[in-house]
């Protein structure tokens, strides 16, 4: 795994006082986990507040993103380390910041689970923040992103085993059309249950060890190749809101060196409510 985008806990602990580094924790449920404890110096965010536009279902404008970064003490050249609760919210933060053009965004391998298992320092204090100097990036990295029309245009190619492989990273119950959300949470998020036709199932959790670290590269590669997702294919990943998809996107692009990968961030929340699009069960 020859990438500097995945940092180990010992590296981050050694850089907790490094002024070049900012640590962001993204939470699924408000900031409950962050408030209980967090990596010292980390800032805690409810993911939608930082990673989405305030009004429309999209990512921030370059100007809004720059303002949020500056307010968090992040400058254009800051090294940002993301982690989340659960872990896919850390990779979602990494994906959005990278998509928005920030140059150096990294993931804490194992996140909260491994950090705690290894007995590393914790804090309940909110760190003081001095404003950063952030220059808005003029555009987004649109090569990272697939839209619904992109997926629709490739359905025949996907079904025919062509150049495109579509990966579904939701739970088996979601993939099989039994639910539109994971077991254990309210079953909401789309009007219909099912999957996009031709999608191959690779549950995101299969890529992680018990301490939420990424599995070795050879194991990751075997999981992907078993679904036909090889580096010579165009690969589109999706889940329900694309959090789980970004975890697999990170593994493919940063840990395995895949170059032809996009995340369909509309995912099942969008597809399962569109009028007239096909689904499978």
Is the preceding omega at residue 32 within 30 degrees of 0, hence cis?
A: no
- d(CA 258, CA 233) in angstroms, rounded, equals 9
CB count within 10 Å of CB 271 equals 23
∠ CA 230-94-19, nearest 5°, is 135
Which tokens sit at 239? 């889940």
Annotated catalytic residue, options 70, 212, 239, 251? 239
Structure tokens of 224?
């992907």
CB 34 within 8 A of CB 19: no
Supply 40's token pair. 């010292």
- Is 69 designated active site? no
Cβ atoms within 10 A of the Cβ of 208, count? 19
- Check: CB of residue 111 under 8 Å from CB of residue 99: no
The catalytic residues are 239
């Amino acid at each position: 795994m020859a990438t500097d985008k995945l940092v180990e806990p010992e590296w981050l602990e050694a850089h907790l006082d490094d002024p070049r580094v900012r640590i962001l924790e993204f939470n699924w449920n408000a900031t409950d986990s962050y408030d209980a404890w967090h990596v010292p110096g980390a800032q805690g965010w409810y993911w939608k507040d930082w990673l989405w536009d305030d009004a429309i279902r999209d990512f921030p404008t370059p100007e809004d993103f720059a303002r949020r970064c500056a307010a968090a003490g992040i400058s254009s050249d800051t090294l940002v380390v993301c982690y989340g609760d659960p872990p896919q919210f850390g990779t979602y933060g990494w994906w959005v910041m990278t998509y928005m053009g920030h140059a150096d965004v990294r993931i804490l391998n194992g996140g909260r689970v491994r950090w705690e298992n290894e007995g590393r320092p914790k804090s309940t204090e909110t760190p003081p923040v001095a404003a950063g100097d952030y220059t808005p990036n003029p555009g987004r990295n649109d090569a990272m992103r697939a839209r619904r029309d992109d997926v629709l245009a490739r359905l025949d190619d996907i079904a025919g085993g062509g150049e495109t492989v579509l990966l579904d990273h939701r739970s088996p119950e979601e993939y099989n059309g039994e639910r539109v959300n994971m077991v254990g949470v309210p079953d909401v998020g789309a009007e219909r249950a099912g999957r996009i036709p031709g999608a191959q199932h690779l549950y995101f959790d299969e890529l992680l060890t018990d301490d939420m670290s990424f599995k070795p590269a050879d194991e990751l590669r075997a999981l992907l190749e078993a679904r036909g997702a090889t580096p010579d294919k165009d690969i589109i990943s999706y889940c329900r809101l694309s959090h789980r998809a970004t975890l697999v996107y990170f593994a493919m692009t940063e840990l395995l060196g895949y170059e032809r990968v996009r995340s369909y961030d509309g995912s099942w929340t969008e597809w399962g409510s569109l009028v007239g699009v096909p689904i499978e069960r």
